[in-house]
Amino acid sequence: MFLSTASNPQRSVSRAQRGITLIGLLAWAFVICVVALVGMKVTPAVLEYQTISKMVNKVANEGGSTVPEIRAAYDRAAQIEYGVEAIKNGRDLDITKENDKVVIRFAYDKEIELISPVYLLIKFEGQSK
């Protein structure tokens, strides 16, 4: 039995295949792995920055009125906080007074090893509010 394409319109239209190829899947898997690796390596550094920023704000508000008192208050807070390695000493802080308000500034660099010869350098800086 012979079927013509005119009587069967479904056969005349070729169906386009949908989906992802193996190469496409591997490319997306590589991109996702790289983003996850960078995220896992950078997250602790960002959390440390947030902790230092909170400590600096607390010390600026409650630490004292003179530079040695503020440095000593930061040193005490740094001993209590877990995971603060970038600024362990109050001598690394820039302490000024602006409009009768204590302003503490800090800046540091964090070098993160991604894969053996590849490093990521992040420059953190902040000040008290």
CB atoms within 10 A of CB 106: 21
Domain range summary for the chain, segments of one domain joined by +: 44-129
**pLDDT > 90? residue 11:** no
Q: Using a pLDDT cut of 70, give the percent of the chain over it.
A: 88
Look at residue 14 in the predicted model and tell me its pLDDT.
63
Mean pLDDT of 28-37: 94
Whether 8 shows a pLDDT value over 60: the answer reads no
pLDDT at 113: 92
Alpha helices in the chain (DSSP H): 9-12, 22-62, 67-80
Question: How much is the pTM?
Answer: 0.74
Q: Nearest-CA neighbor of 83 among 48, 112, 53, 55?
A: 48
Banded model confidence at residue 129, pLDDT cuts 50, 70, 90 = confident
